[in-house]
Chains A and B, each alone.
Chain A
């Protein structure tokens, strides 16, 4: 009648070890990404000075003579992402306030899956739509000239792509605001608009900022739309009607050619990749910190 283990159970430990290994695959992925970026990036800076990389305004590593100033790529990334944010933040936030504060449950039940469909459209499809429908449309209605490949259209369509991110994460943050706060506001005679703007939005503010930052990071890393609709020329300009090349688009363009390993051209891809990785990583970090903050307040 002993209470000792009646039969050995080594299996349990083996299974736990296997599960742990599966969880460690994600850590290995991060290490793999850092390693794959780091080594060619270090070699790149052995060949090209960091000063030129960060200050020169000309980019053309595949041209003769080559130029390695990353600023045109960075500015193109900032410009398209900026346009995207101008589109996505008001529309996404408006949709979120509507879904969280105004819409009846039935309406919400229909609208949310539609937003999910928008979120599920492959970016290559957005890119095609941008190039063959939105750009001709813009050329027809805008009073100024834009090129066939241009930053404006690319940015606009990236904006529509990230609306579901802004909308659904902001709505989560607003739903997390305790209903007591709303009721308190209504009890004082405040209208729905005042309650939404003065009570719910401020209370959900850090969550909304986190959503916007995550959307910016997604926009900055977006590849196919800007590659297809933005064109492949690294112009250092503020003219939205001109073609531009973002960091992600450059990586896609250079990486899809057959670049010989070990050359400066090859290493360039990784140097730009490192910069993009660091930028998005920093944004994600800030966003995650903010999300944790609003969770602490209300949970």
Chain B
């Protein structure tokens, strides 16, 4: 025991200095993150610098044009985006939240159909967006006869982001402690009273965060709408859900496809508008999440 109880000398315990490979490894890890951030920074600065000359009121006051980049604007695309996203929100948020309530509060996981619904939602979340375009083209536009209209675009985008809304809402609902439900039920409240008056109000911040992120995904989505008639140059604002339409990402795509430099500047300016909208939505979501995080 004498050997063991003899304290080691301080010299032996002192750090010999981390070996070089430890440092290199750490630097490599930081570099991976840094490269991603530099890419993002380059992208943001590039579109801002490139689009700066055209970042003025012409962008939202004028209609698109393929002839003269100097007078072209994106008004019909901006109003089209507002139309499509509003209808998407109206359709998909109630559906997604209702589905989440069903799965969290009512579904008996021992029943096979409930397991099928759950698996199915996971799968839907990973299907490429262009495949939703095929669904929109084959079923919603053709079979349902809704044509290339705002409503077709909204239904398609709504289905595309529905899994995001459901998954986020389920997490928010699950975060409400069971003791709140018990407390309500023990007072003689029915299950729906418990859900609508206790569980939902308590999970609203989480549901709102997920909903905002889902809608911001829908705002930036272009691929499925390429197949749903948004590509044509639309020089008027939609006047209803059955109207023809275009949206910002598609308008941007159209200008990218033009060979003249002026249209690329215009595309950059429109991208800045799109990114500002998305960044605002993202910040709102992050703010909501931090503001209302875990009160129990």
Contact = CB atoms under 8 A, between A and B. Distances in A.
Interface in B124-172: 124, 126-135, 137-139, 142-143, 159, 162-163, 166
B71 interface: no
Interface stretch (A53-61, A64-72, A115-123, A177-185): A115-123
A24 B103 CA distance: 11
Nearest to B249: A124
A269 B190 CA distance: 51
Contact of B36 (A163, A191, A217, A251): A163
Nearest to B143: A36
B21 A193 contact: yes
Contacts of B31: 94
A159 to B, nearest CB: 10
Given A124-B220, A221-B127, A221-B129, A160 B39 contact: yes
Interface stretch (B54-62, B94-102, B175-183): B94-102
Given A15-B192, A36-B139, A114-B40, A251 B227 contact: yes
B134 A36 contact: yes
A128 B126 contact: no
A18 B116 CA distance: 18
A211 to B, nearest CB: 12
A224 B21 CA distance: 41
A20 B267 CA distance: 44
Interface string B185-197: 0000011100000
Interface residues of A, number: 88
Q: Is the interface of B mostly helix, strand, loop or mixed?
A: helix
Contacts of A94: 28-29, 31-33
B216 interface: yes
A21 to B, nearest CB: 8
Given A122-B221, A124-B222, A256-B227, A27 B37 contact: no
B282 interface: yes
Interface of A: 9, 11-12, 15-16, 18-20, 22-27, 29-30, 32-33, 35-37, 39-40, 90-95, 97-99, 102, 111, 113-118, 120-129, 131-133, 160, 163-164, 167, 191-193, 196, 214, 217-218, 220-224, 227-228, 248, 251-252, 255-256, 261, 269-270, 273, 276-277, 280-281, 284-285, 287-288
Minimum-distance CB pairs A-B, first 10: A221-B128, A94-B32, A122-B220, A36-B138, A22-B98, A255-B227, A19-B102, A98-B29, A223-B223, A23-B99
Given A40-B138, A123-B223, A129-B42, 20 more contacts: A22-B98, A35-B139, A92-B32, A94-B32, A121-B275, A123-B222, A124-B253, A128-B252, A132-B264, A133-B46, A163-B36, A191-B18, A191-B19, A223-B222, A248-B128, A269-B134, A273-B131, A276-B131, A280-B128, A284-B126
Interface of B: 18-19, 21-22, 25-26, 28-33, 35-37, 39-40, 42-43, 46-47, 50, 94-96, 98-99, 101-103, 106-107, 116-117, 119-124, 126-135, 137-139, 142-143, 159, 162-163, 166, 190-192, 213, 216-217, 219-223, 226-227, 231, 249-250, 252-253, 256, 264, 267-268, 271, 274-275, 278-279, 282, 286
